[in-house]
Structure formats: C-alpha cells, structure tokens
C-alpha cells in the first residue's frame, strides 16, 4: 500500500479515498491524499522531554520525521502486538509526521455526501473526529490529524501573532465567505481575519451549506459579487468538499467572477494542480495565515 499518490482522484468530483487503520478494535480513516507511505515499524530514537504522545524520531529516505503514538494521543491502550503495528507517513500543513497505528487494512472510495459531521453532543473523541462514515460491519471515524498535531505542537495551528508583520491596518467593509468544517478553525480564522481588518466574515460548516446559500442568492435575483467579495474554503469537508465547491462556483455564469482561495492542509507541491484544475484563484497551506491575508488583499482591496 505504498506511495498512494498514484491513485489520486480527479479534481472536483466530490469523492475521496480513505486508508482504513485500526487502534485496538476501533476503526479510523485518513484521506489517502495525506498518505505518503505505509511502513513497517522502524527503530525509534527517543527525544528527551518531548510531548508524551511523541515516541521519538526516525529516518525515512534521508529525512528525520517525528513519530506520534496515535493510541496515546487518542487515550487508547497500547498495542497488544507491537511487532505487527504499522507506521503511516503522512504529509499535511507542509510537514511530515509518522503516525504509529496498530493495523492498516484497506482503502475505501466514498463520496463526501456519505460523510456525516459529528454531533456536538458527542463526548471524548469528538474534538479529534472530522467525519463519520457508516460502513459494512460498523462505523469508520475520519481522524482530525491536524488537531492531533496541533495538540502536540500548538505552533502548528493558526495564531494572530503571525500577523504582526502587517502593522496597523484599516477596517474593511468587504464581505468574505469562510467555508470550514472545523469549529476551532472557523473561530481562529474569524479572529485572525478580524485582526487583519476583515471583520465582515460569514461562516459555513461545509461546501453544501455554502453552495446552497449562493444558489439561493442567485434564485432571488441578487448579484453574488455584491453580497460577497471573496470565498475562503477548506478542502476536506462533509457533504461537499472544497474542490467541488470551487468547480461549481467557477463553472457558474452567475458566480464565476467570485474569487476563491483554497486554504487547506492539503496544499502541497504534488497536489497544487488539483486546485488549479477546478479554477481556484489562489491556494494557501494551513497555517500560513499571513500569506492568506496577502492574497485576500490582492483580490479585494
């Protein structure tokens, strides 16, 4: 199951492939786009005073990569058969991390429409789960790897301190649509954009909510570009993902002039072409909020 990049899906078709892995008897998934390689366990070099969920570091093809004990990060028991465990080498937010898991089983191809958003009333793992897929024999939980990484290293997340180099800024009346399924990131985005002078933001939890709203504006005879001056969207979202949302906007006669910036952990050198193919005006990797603000300035100031 190595080098999954060879089976990437066509851009904008609202489907994804998930690598299923196990922690004990629990079934989890990771978007195959994030997976660089599946490895058998390698010798780990411990790092003194590191985070309790960080086992240490290993060398993978000349690169030194941290190893996260996924079971520990989720509050589960250690593996009962460590010799049979697997390492998932993942890349997102422009960094590489190895996630130590107990099993890796298969790849599932699904539509984002099959993905359900966890309800707020769920306890425990809810904050680290981005979606739930009902599968034969049970449910598969899509793990929020960005949240796991941010809990270990808060500097890997969005912070207002990143905007210090911008200096004093005037308030803008331009309205920005923010489409992001993570409640934490929605709040952080609003806070940081407000710090940058953009306090007229309207947030949506996924691409379907945003697209339904835009289509309603069109049906009401309103000019979309007068209601919003820019769209910022994540990629990984239940119901409709960011690539599909971007494609629909750019193929619509009534919405195509609306600038769309994709702001996602999946913006890498290998995957940038997917956003270009659906017509994104710019693509920024999380958590580069300063670069995001510069692109916003470029399109709507």
Q: What is the mean pLDDT of the chain?
A: 88
Give residue-wise pLDDT tens across range 209-236. Answer: 999 999 999 999 999 999 999 999 999 9
Q: What mean pLDDT do residues 65-75 have?
A: 96
Q: In this structure, how many other beta carbons lie within 10 angstroms of the beta carbon of residue 72? A: 17
Which DSSP symbol is given to 145? H
Instruction: Say if residue 123's pLDDT is above 50.
Output: no
Which of 44, 43, 71 minimizes the C-alpha distance to 55? Answer: 44
Instruction: Say if residue 8's pLDDT is above 50.
Output: no
Give the CA distances from residue 183 to residues 147, 213, 263, in Å, rounded to whole numbers and listed in that order: 11, 19, 15
Give residue-wise pLDDT tens across range 283-299. Answer: 999 889 889 999 999 99
pLDDT band at 120 (very low <50, low <70, confident <90, very high): low
pTM of the model: 0.82
pLDDT: which is higher, 52 or 266: 52
Q: In this structure, how many other beta carbons lie within 10 angstroms of the beta carbon of residue 233? A: 27
The span from the CA of 212 to the CA of 7, in Å, is: 30
Residues 267/275, Cβ–Cβ less than 8 Å: yes
Dig out the tokens for 281 from the structure. 């005006």
Residues 67/44, Cβ–Cβ less than 8 Å: yes
Can you give the pLDDT at residue 5?
A: 41
The span from the CA of 150 to the CA of 73, in Å, is: 11
Please give the share of the chain, as a percent, with pLDDT higher than 70.
Answer: 92
Can you give the pLDDT at residue 76?
A: 94
Give residue-wise pLDDT tens across range 141-154. Answer: 999 898 898 888 87
The span from the CA of 177 to the CA of 232, in Å, is: 6
């Amino acid at each position: 199951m190595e080098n999954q990049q060879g089976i990437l899906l066509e851009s904008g078709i609202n489907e994804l492939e998930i690598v299923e892995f196990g922690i004990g008897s629990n079934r989890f998934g990771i978007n195959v786009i994030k997976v660089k390689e599946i490895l058998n366990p390698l010798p780990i070099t411990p790092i003194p005073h590191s985070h309790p969920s960080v086992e240490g570091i290993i060398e993978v093809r000349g690169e030194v990569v941290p190893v996260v004990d996924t079971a520990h990060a989720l509050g589960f028991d250690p593996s009962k058969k460590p010799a049979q465990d697997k390492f998932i080498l993942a890349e997102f937010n422009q960094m590489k991390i190895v996630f130590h898991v107990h099993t890796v089983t298969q790849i599932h191809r699904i539509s984002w429409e099959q993905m359900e958003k966890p309800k707020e009333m769920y306890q425990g793992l809810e904050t680290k789960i981005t979606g739930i897929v009902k599968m034969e024999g049970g449910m598969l939980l899509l793990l929020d790897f960005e949240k796991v990484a941010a809990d270990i290293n808060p500097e890997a997340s969005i912070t207002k301190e990143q905007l210090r180099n911008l200096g004093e800024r005037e308030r803008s009346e331009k309205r920005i649509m923010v489409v992001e399924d993570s409640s934490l990131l929605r709040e952080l985005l609003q806070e940081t954009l407000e710090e940058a002078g953009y306090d007229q933001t309207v947030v949506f939890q996924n691409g379907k909510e945003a697209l339904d709203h835009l289509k309603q504006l069109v049906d009401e005879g309103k000019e979309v570009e007068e209601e919003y001056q820019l769209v910022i969207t994540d990629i990984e979202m239940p119901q409709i993902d960011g690539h599909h949302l971007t494609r629909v906007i750019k193929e619509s006669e009534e919405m195509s002039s609306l600038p769309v910036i994709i702001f996602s952990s999946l913006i890498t050198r290998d995957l940038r072409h997917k956003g270009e193919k659906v017509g994104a005006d710019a693509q920024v990797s999380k958590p580069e909020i300063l670069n995001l603000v510069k692109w916003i300035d470029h399109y709507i100031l």
